[in-house]
């Protein structure tokens, strides 16, 4: 489920801040300014500097030096990931049911030797990202090409091939009435919809009152930066939790659409104020770079050229 809100992970925070306000810039930012930004979220200087060093070692950030001062920027591969992943996160839930579902389920059935646990884990992880869930051991299902990123047969086939699995079948099927009595399972039971509904409702309950405060003008720029990051941090987990099942099989009053409205309203409305706070902090360490800080909206996203500075 969405991460517990016990404070942001420093490494995760830096990547989020770069993605939200510096995603298209080739210039590096001073470490002192990044540390000061982390302080807005209650992260100590020592923890912030350690996180920057780890991100560099993981090749998620690149670094440069001017005299004794260190500067950091997004590595090209990280920027690519932000463009691709960010587009999916920002658009998730926008079109709640883009195509009429034909009632068929896409099924991946496989057998992997017990001594190949790493392969099994990799396959399960990738299938889950494509919108599949485990119905039985070795039998995974998705709504096959319906809303919200469900996997197509071609995508599933590519995953199976890339994992090197030879003993597998991929096919489409329709669900008949349960043939196993009380032990039979409908494909929909592969997902814990009650838990997902709760997660959506908790998201709405937390951030909907914040939007009213925004409308009332009761938000300062410092809070805007923190809360905009928080709403993104929670929302970004939903594409991996929600397979985008078609509306025909979902319970009445499914809250994904409302949660999407709350996310877009809060994230977009806080953008200008959060940008002001980011610029203010950066201006104390790099006055020439501060005017280049920018934010994007859920309808625009980080889709500009990778590795190309914006004018």
pLDDT digits (tens, 9 = 90+) for 60-83: 999 999 999 999 999 988 888 887
The pLDDT of residue 289 is above 90 = yes
d(CA 246, CA 243): 9
How confident is the model at residue 7, as a pLDDT?
61
The pLDDT of residue 237 is above 80 = yes
Q: 108: which 2 tokens?
A: 């991946």
How much is the mean pLDDT over the chain?
Answer: 86
The mean pLDDT of 222-250, rounded to a whole number, is 90
The pLDDT of residue 199 is above 70 = yes
The mean pLDDT of 254-279, rounded to a whole number, is 97
Range 260-291 burial, b when 16+ CB lie within 10 A, else e: bebbbbbbbbbbebbbbbbbebbeebbeebbe
Rounded percentage of the chain residues whose pLDDT exceeds 70: 87
The pLDDT of residue 4 is above 60 = no
The pLDDT of residue 149 is above 50 = no
Q: What are phi and psi of 72, to 5 degrees?
A: -130, 145
- Is the sign of the CA dihedral 191, 194, 200, 203 positive or negative? negative
Confidence of residue 30 (pLDDT cuts 50, 70, 90): very high
Q: Which of the given ranges, 113-117, 157-161, 176-180, 228-232, has the highest pLDDT on average?
A: 228-232
Q: 3: which 2 tokens?
A: 């991460």
The pLDDT of residue 284 is above 80 = yes
Q: What does each C-alpha distance from 75 to 51, 63, 219, 279, 290 come to in angstroms?
A: 15, 9, 33, 22, 20
How confident is the model at residue 3, as a pLDDT?
46
Q: Which of the given ranges, 153-162, 184-193, 213-222, has the highest pLDDT on average?
A: 213-222
The pLDDT of residue 293 is above 80 = yes
How confident is the model at residue 198, as a pLDDT?
97
pLDDT tens for each residue of 172-193: 888 765 555 555 678 888 889 9
Q: 3-class secondary structure for the chain?
A: CCCCCCCCCHHHHHHHHHHHHCCCCCCCEEHHHHHHHHHCCCCCHHHHHHHHHHHHHCCCEEEEEECCEEEEEECHHHHHHHHHHHHHHHHCCCCCCCCCCCCCEEEEEECCCCCCHHHHHHHHHHHHHCCCEEEECCEEEECCCCHHHCCCHHHHHHHHHHCCCCCEEEEEECCCCCCCHHHCCCHHHHCCHHHHHHHHHHHHHHHHHHHHHHHCCCCCHHHHHHHHHHHHHHHCCHHHHCCCCCHHHCCCCCCHHHHHHHHHHHHHHHHHHHHHHHHHHHHCCCCCCHHHCCCCCCCCCCCCCCCCCCC
Confidence of residue 107 (pLDDT cuts 50, 70, 90): very high
User: Structural domains in the chain?
Assistant: 1-96+191-311 (no CATH), 105-173 (3.30.70)
Rounded to two decimals, the pTM is 0.80
How confident is the model at residue 54, as a pLDDT?
96
């Amino acid at each position: 489920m969405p991460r517990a809100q016990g404070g942001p992970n420093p490494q995760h925070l830096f990547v989020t801040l770069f993605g939200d306000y510096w995603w298209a810039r080739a210039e590096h930012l001073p470490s002192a300014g990044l540390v000061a930004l982390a302080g807005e979220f209650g992260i100590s200087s020592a923890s912030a500097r350690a996180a920057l060093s780890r991100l560099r070692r993981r090749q998620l950030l690149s670094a440069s030096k001017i005299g004794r001062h260190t500067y950091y920027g997004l590595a090209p591969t990280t920027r690519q990931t932000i463009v691709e992943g960010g587009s999916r996160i920002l658009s998730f839930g926008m079109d709640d049911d883009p195509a009429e579902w034909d009632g068929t389920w896409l099924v991946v059935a496989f057998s992997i030797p017990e001594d190949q646990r790493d392969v099994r884990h990799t396959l399960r992880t990738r299938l889950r990202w494509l919108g599949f869930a485990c119905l039985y051991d070795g039998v995974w299902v998705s709504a096959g090409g319906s809303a919200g990123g469900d996997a197509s047969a071609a995508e599933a086939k590519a995953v199976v091939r890339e994992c090197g699995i030879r003993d597998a079948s991929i096919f489409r099927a329709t669900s008949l009435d349960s043939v196993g009595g009380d032990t039979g399972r409908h494909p929909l039971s592969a997902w814990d919809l009650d838990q997902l509904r709760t997660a959506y409702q908790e998201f709405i309950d937390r951030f909907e009152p914040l939007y009213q405060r925004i409308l009332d003008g009761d938000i300062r720029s410092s809070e805007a930066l923190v809360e905009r990051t928080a709403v993104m941090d929670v929302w970004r987990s939903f594409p991996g939790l929600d397979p985008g099942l078609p509306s025909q099989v979902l319970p009445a009053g499914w809250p994904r659409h409302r949660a999407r409205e709350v996310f877009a309203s809060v994230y977009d409305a806080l953008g200008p104020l959060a940008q002001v706070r980011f610029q203010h902090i950066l201006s104390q360490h790099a006055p020439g770079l501060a005017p280049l800080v920018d934010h994007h909206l859920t309808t625009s996203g980080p889709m500009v050229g990778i590795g190309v500075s914006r004018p």
